[in-house]
Structure 1
Amino acid sequence: MRLHVGCAMWTHKAWRFPAPALRTYAGWCNAVEGNTTFYATPARSSVAAWAEQTPPGFRFVLKLPRTVTHERRLTGGAEELHAFLDAIEPLGPRTHALWIQLPGSFGPADTGALAAFLRRLPANHRYAVEVRHPAFFTEPQATAQLAAVLTGAGAEWVPFDTTAFFQTPPTSDAERDAWTKKPRLPLRSEALTGHPIIRYLGRDDQARTVAGWQPWVARVAAWLREGRSPTVFIHTPDNADAPELARRFHGEVRAAVPDLPALPEPEPAGQPTLF
């Protein structure tokens, strides 16, 4: 039984981590979203450095390249996929899951392409799929079809919970920017596998972020009692407090599930310190 928590990145100007930032971040959180791999496949040597800077229990959820998911829409792209898989090999078991984020135009008519793609993927990785077409959330047949495809492949459905964020109008520049960019979709909270992955977007106000995640505290605690090992990523529009909030979420879940191991205390970040 383990809960992984983390943020959308491991470096942010507001955090003031010393170099190498990943080593310090890994003392605060035990997982991270690998969003940068969506835009460019990293050098294998860079990935090896990521492994060296993180403890064995740290986990990466790495996004597949956009050439595969958005440009080729899961058909073709074998060369790019092979290069990506080769590049991330040094992470070994630190790769928690490969994250297949699909564009909003990828709808129920494309489910067959997803099923075929999942069948072609190597079995030595875990896979997690994020869809953004509204029909997958509002049309029961499309929901059931997608869930069946994912379950058949042993893949997880990744929800991006933006409901708390969109409850009231934005109040900061970062919130106004996120208001135009983040998906506004119905909430999904069911797990398909023993390793559910949740992405949660709060507000720049910590109290509102914490209030909005309370249903997830209960759900994650229930999953842990069932023997699942969830991963939760905490986002806010400016992400200035994200590492602190991720640790707070872990602490709230641990209060409900006392057998959950505590996160290690982070080492001092040096001067100036975090936050």
Structure 2
Amino acid sequence: MSNIYLGCAIWGYRPWVGQFLPAATSNAEMLKAYAERLTTVEINATFYAVPDQPTVLRWASDTPASFRFCPKIPQAISHSGNLAQHVAQTQAFIAQMQLLGPKLGPIFLQLGPAYSPANFSDLQQWLAAWDRNVALAVEVRHRGWFAAQAAQRLNNLLAEHGVGRVLVDVRPINTGVTKDQVILDARRKKPNVPYHVDVTAPFVLLRFMGHPDLAIDQPLLAQWADTIVAMLNDGLTVYAFMHCPVEERSPEMCEILAQALVARGIDYPLPTPPAPIQQLSMF
């Protein structure tokens, strides 16, 4: 299989049982069942609390050797406004996540919307203390980071440390005019940042904020398939995560992207879900 990993933000979503996951899948079996169908997962739970050692070891034992976890740094660090004061706490978190062994993919730092280019020196100090043997990606949400000069300065800093810049695509969820409260809530919660494809490390971490109407997602995922193929041809490893405010759709978005990659000659043997929620005509 090529160095492309596809997944969602969660694995323990009960409405998937009997649809994306096999019927009668218990809570304890959900990660194992998920890992039989997708090859990576964000661990958003670590944003709120650091799991204990038995939990992390169980995650590792429930997944195949080819699976990768991409945990989010706790908000107590990422949203503190002062990363440099939390180096020891960061190192403790890294050590806990390293219990995953080779199944640990890039850890990612999601900075809050108030963390601006004015905090550059703080980020610089924090990155200087990061263990370079552990892959890291950084997501910025303050729009100031996307101005040309600030973006170049950030990209240079990340590249200097071999750190990836998280690619966040919010185009799908912001498409069209709507009164749908689910969509409006998603627009409010997700970062309204410009589309960009900045590569600063040997890997890429993509977070695609999809629309529940898969017809909106499909052409954008086709565009990403072309981009990912080019990245793979350049020797990059790609972690692509599908997000949707209607979580039932997220695995289907993975399937759309996987099929688009296969159509472009990429070897990605994604298993067919046991009972798809909705099959598009292309399948």
TM-score of the superposed pair, with normalisation by structure 2: 0.89
Percent identical pairs in the alignment equals 28
**What's the CA shift string for 1:134-171, capped at 9, x where partnerless?**
1111x211011100100000000002110121121335
Give structure 2 stretches of 5+ with no counterpart: 278-283
- Residue in 1 that maps onto 2:123: 114
Partner residue in 2 for 1:251: 259
Match of 1:14 in 2: 15
> Structure 1 residue 147 and structure 2 residue 155: aligned?
yes
Q: What's the CA shift for 1:267? A: 7.6
Tell me if structure 1 keeps the 8 A contact 2:261–2:268.
Answer: no
CA contact (8 A) 2:162 2:202 kept: no
Residue in structure 1 matched with residue 281 of structure 2 by the alignment: none
Question: Per-residue CA shift, 1:30-54, capped at 9, x if unaligned?
Answer: 0111111011000111010000111
Give the letter aligned to residue 267 of structure 2. P
> Following superposition, which runs of at least 4 residues in structure 1 exceed 3 angstroms of deviation?
170-173
Counterparts of residues 1-275 of structure 1 (less than 5 Å): 1-16=2-17, 17=21, 18-19=25-26, 20-137=29-146, 139-170=147-178, 172-256=180-264, 258=265, 260-265=266-271, 268=274, 273=275, 275=277
Once residues 175 and 222 of structure 1 are traced to their aligned partners in structure 2, the CA distance between those partners, rounded to angstroms, is 31
Distance 2:240 2:160 in 1: 23
Distance verdict in 2 for CA 1:148–1:7, change over 3 Å: same
* Farther-moved stretch of structure 1 (211-220 vs 101-110): 211-220
Give CA-to-partner distance per residue, 1:184-225, whole Å, 9 cap, x none.
Answer: 111111212221111111111111111232221111111111
Asked if the contact 1:41–1:83 (Cα under 8 Å) also holds between the matched residues in 2, the reply is no
Whichever residue aligns with residue 166 of structure 2, its letter is V
For 2:93, give the aligned amino acid: F
How large is the RMSD of aligned CA atoms in angstroms?
A: 1.7
Aligned equivalents of 2:210, 2:139: Cα separation in 1: 18
Is contact 2:40–2:68 with CA below 8 Å preserved after alignment?
Answer: yes
Q: Distance in 2 between matches of 1:252 and 1:52?
A: 31
Residue 231 of structure 1 aligns to a residue whose secondary structure is strand
Shift of 1:266: 5.5
Asked whether the equivalents of residues 168 and 206 of structure 2 are also in contact (C-alpha less than 8 Å), the reply is: yes
Q: Secondary structure at the match of 1:227?
A: coil
**Match for 1:168: what amino acid?**
G
TM-score (normalised: structure 1): 0.92
Give the distance between the partners of 1:153 and 1:69, measured in 2 at CA.
18
Equivalent pairs counted in the alignment come to 268
Q: Deviations over 1:79-133 (max 9, x none)?
A: 4323322322220111111101101111111111111111101122101000011
Structure 2 CA distance, aligned partners of 1:81 and 1:193? 21
Gaps of 5+ in 1: none
Of the structure 1 ranges 247-256 and 199-208, higher mean CA displacement relative to structure 2 is found in 247-256
In the TM superposition, residue 72 of structure 1 has moved relative to its aligned partner by 4.9
**Contact 1:202–1:212 (8 Å) recurs in 2:** no
